[in-house]
Amino acid sequence: MVGAPGRRCQVAYARERGVSARRACALMSVARSSLGYRSRLLERDAPVVAVMRELAAQYPRYGYRRIQVFLERQGHRMSADRAHRLWRLHGLQVPRKRPRRRIATGRPRPLPPANAGYLWAYDFVFDACANGQQLKCLTVIDEYTRECLAIDVAGSIRSTRVIEVLSKLVTVHGAPKYLRSDNGPEFVSKAILKWLTAANIDTAFIDPGKPWLNGMNESFNGKFRDECLSMQWFKNRLDAKVVIEEFRRQFNEVRPHSSLGQLTPAQFKLGLSLPVSAGYPGGGPPEISAPEASYAVALRSNAAENAPGASVAPSGTPDSPAALPTEGRQETKTGGRMPPHRPSRDAFHNRSRS
């Protein structure tokens, strides 16, 4: 019992057992004038905690960081430390998942996405309904915008069904440059390879036995299972299709993504559709705040600079390194800049002695 609130609780407990207030305060080293103290902090946090409980019940697999984003959308701005304090104080912690072995993160990613619509990835996720029907879900995502383009739910999905889903997506979003997948029979069949060749889409198959090379889609599948499949009870396939489609809509339009600066994929994609030089007129559309809008534009500008085939400024132009002032600087072997050489302290003393 170190804190004053804890000692006051012990005084209340002793008074319930028949000990007088004077005697209980003397035993617990509590001033009698503080027995009627009511914390203003609890009254101030009460509205925020009520909203936080509603969001925690609505999104049981979200932690305090994503709940903080939802609170800011509703006008309750706070720091991450305060959100974490309230989250722990009221017992809203998300159960920890069992840790698993991970590979080294320093390995280069094969064929990273250059821009929106450049690289799609698709894979299968399996589940079952309450009536025993099997579920096979085909998930298709855009690796650059993190947008889930489609989740096709059926009992069995062959290569012809995969071609139908991809054809609809190409009609709506346009054809990607590459399509990443594993070496499953549905993805390496002659029918789908023939269709990809006709649609001018290149394949980016991962190495056998290395699912982490399709990391974006595997990450989405993990969120899909953790936040939807493991939390829902499907009566039949029709019920599963409705619930899964609602999850896909929330994933694209409601769920914030830390890799996108707490934007949703729909907001991030909308930011990419605007010109980089123009930015967001008037601070951006109503559903996107100015900081988030500028973040999205900055990401697009950075991607345009690092994209393969990007134009390089000619030598001597204001944007080229050759036009920068080089007085008082030296070139390193690696092409970087370093400050001019300064004599060491020993050399200074030797010069003064001579």
Q: What are the sequence ranges of the domains in the chain?
A: 4-34, 42-89, 119-254, 259-303
Q: Where are the beta strands (DSSP E) in the chain?
A: 119-128, 134-142, 148-154, 178-181, 202-205, 330-331, 337-338
Q: Are 287 and 263 in contact (CB under 8 A)?
A: no
Q: Are 188 and 129 in contact (CB under 8 A)?
A: no
pLDDT in single tens digits along all 354 residues of the chain: 468 888 888 888 998 989 998 999 998 888 888 888 888 888 889 999 999 999 998 888 888 999 999 999 999 999 999 999 999 988 887 777 666 666 555 556 678 888 999 999 999 999 999 999 999 999 999 999 999 999 999 999 999 999 999 999 999 999 999 999 998 888 999 999 999 999 999 999 998 888 888 989 999 999 999 999 999 999 999 999 999 999 999 999 999 998 898 899 999 998 887 665 444 433 444 344 444 444 454 555 554 554 444 444 443 333 433 333 434 434 433 344 444 444 444 444 444 444
pTM across the whole model: 0.67
Q: What are the pLDDT digits (tens) for 29-55?
A: 888 888 888 888 888 899 999 999 999
H helical segments located in 91-233:
159-173, 190-198, 215-224
Token pair 């690696």 is at which residue? 334
- Give the pLDDT score at 273: 74
Return the CATH fold of 119-254. Nucleotidyltransferase; domain 5 (3.30.420)
- In the chain, DSSP finds a helix count (H) and a strand count (E) of 12, 7
